[in-house]
Structure 1
Amino acid sequence: MCRIVLLVSALFCFDALAAEVQVAVAANFAAPMKQIATQFEQISGHKANLSVGATGKFYAQIKNGAPFDILLSADQATPTLLVQEQSALAGSQFTYAIGKLALWSANPTLVDGRGAVLKQGSFAHLAIASPKQAPYGAAAMEVLTALNLNTSIAPKLVQGENIGQTYSFISTGNAELGFVALSQIWENNTLKSGSYWLVPDNLYSPIRQDAVLLKHGKDNPAAAALLAFLKTDKARAIMQSFGYQF
């Protein structure tokens, strides 16, 4: 028991040493990260301030001096580049989750369990995140290409700046269906609403989402504690409930 107490004490500072950590969070990871942040704050005494957005935009902001301590990216490439450019600490990067892609509609009867609706084409708009800025958008284009639908569906595509905006297009009915992160429609291992197709893994490259400690956070104990907490069973249980893998 004493060893466990010592281990927890080493990982997390308590109220007397409480600090704040500024976290840039990829839009697809917003919901689970809010729950993780709550547990982290209760256990450590530190406070996690979350900013949610597109990974590509966060990269630009970090390079322009934005005071983030941690980046929870939607890809591996961005943290790797930040490390190479010495804007993040070498050795701090790790994959915190592997995201899953889903075709989703707010209409509970539109999307079938095999995604056949895509080939039927009985819709006016299909929403995807920007393939250039959002890894989930790039994955969506991989799926359409693998199904030989990228040319025929191209006129129907509506692009969101990030996966959060893409979800909004679909949830408001501006697009009948679209590709989203499973985590946006899945909670407590259950579909929240609408209809969906869980896209098979073989149709797109794995969406490995990496965390990295940024230069601004190198001396922040709350940043180190949060990165450690993301590797714990408590944090991973939350991620799994939203459909993430490891």
Structure 2
Amino acid sequence: MTDEFRRKAKNFLLLDIETVAGYASYDQLPERMQKLWDKKATVLRKGDESVSNEEYFYDRSAIYAEFGKIVCIAFGAFYWDENNEIAFKVRSFSGDDEVKLLLEFKALIEKYPAEQLILCAHNGREFDFPFLCRRMLILGIEIPKALQITGKKPWEILHQDTMDLWKFGDYKSYTSLDLLAAVFDIPGSKNEMSGDQVTRVYYEENDLAKICRYCREDVVVLAQLYLKMHSFQPVRADNITRVE
């Protein structure tokens, strides 16, 4: 590890969010929102009539901040143990009360100097960071300075994104965290479930703990991938701490 990385690690948080449809079914959407979803879904489906707007809402609305909600935020940080070996600790905030969840996360990141905090996620620039900001605005929560990017110059935005790092300036395609984990021979996080099952597990299985385990494991994978992409050795399995 370089001295620069050790210094950066003090104000470095890796994170992942899990989102679900904002309502258990299309029928529960307010009428005004139903009409707006119908309009959006018609465009997204591109003429495909095999799936109804109602089914499409359950399957796809979780990825849109206007129609979905956050149920879990997992985050982790690097540190060095008593033997001076790199270690990693991951925990999560979760709950049905999204306002409470977001306020907990806001309080966490505001403990760090806003001008020094580096937030890292996979596809974070396109999904995690804007989703967090949009949900905070919708729910009347002031966006913490570390997440605010309006008016900032590119070099003033400290966010890191492992998908951006992998693109090397190529904007043609999306590369999943799971695929990169396989490429770099990192144990995956899809043992219990996958991302497209989160809404079903939340509403049908009522198993938020399962979602949180999955979310925390994604952050572990993210941490190991970040190290690999910077030519560092991964954290040993017994130096990873998971907090329920």
Bigger relative contact order (CA 8 A; separation at least 6): 1
Asked if TM exceeds 0.5, the reply is: no
Q: TM-score, normalised by structure 2?
A: 0.28
Q: TM-score, normalised by structure 1?
A: 0.28
